[in-house]
């Protein structure tokens, strides 16, 4: 299974499933690394290297 946030593989037992509520995407469940993505600790996914400069 891959993370919906960073698109990296998630080892067994380290996935966190989060239901999305609201008008946009309501009823959807996202899966990401429990405790945060390894990549997002240094570079947020929404601002990859080279963007926003």
Listed residue (12, 31, 10) closest to 20, CA to CA: 31
Taking only the tens place, the pLDDT of each residue in 21-30 is 877 767 889 8
**15: number of Cβ within 10 Å:** 14
pLDDT at residue 45 in the model: 54
- Distance in angstroms (rounded) separating the CA atoms of residues 47 and 50: 8
pTM for this structure? 0.59
pLDDT band at 2 (very low <50, low <70, confident <90, very high): very high
CB 32 within 8 A of CB 4: yes
53's tokens: 């400069």
39's tokens: 């990549």
What mean pLDDT do residues 2-27 have? 86
């Amino acid at each position: 299974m891959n993370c919906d946030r960073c698109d990296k593989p998630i080892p067994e037992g380290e996935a966190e499933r989060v239901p999305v509520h609201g008008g946009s995407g309501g009823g959807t469940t996202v899966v990401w690394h429990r405790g945060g993505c390894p990549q997002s600790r240094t570079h947020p996914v929404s601002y990859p290297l080279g963007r926003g400069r």
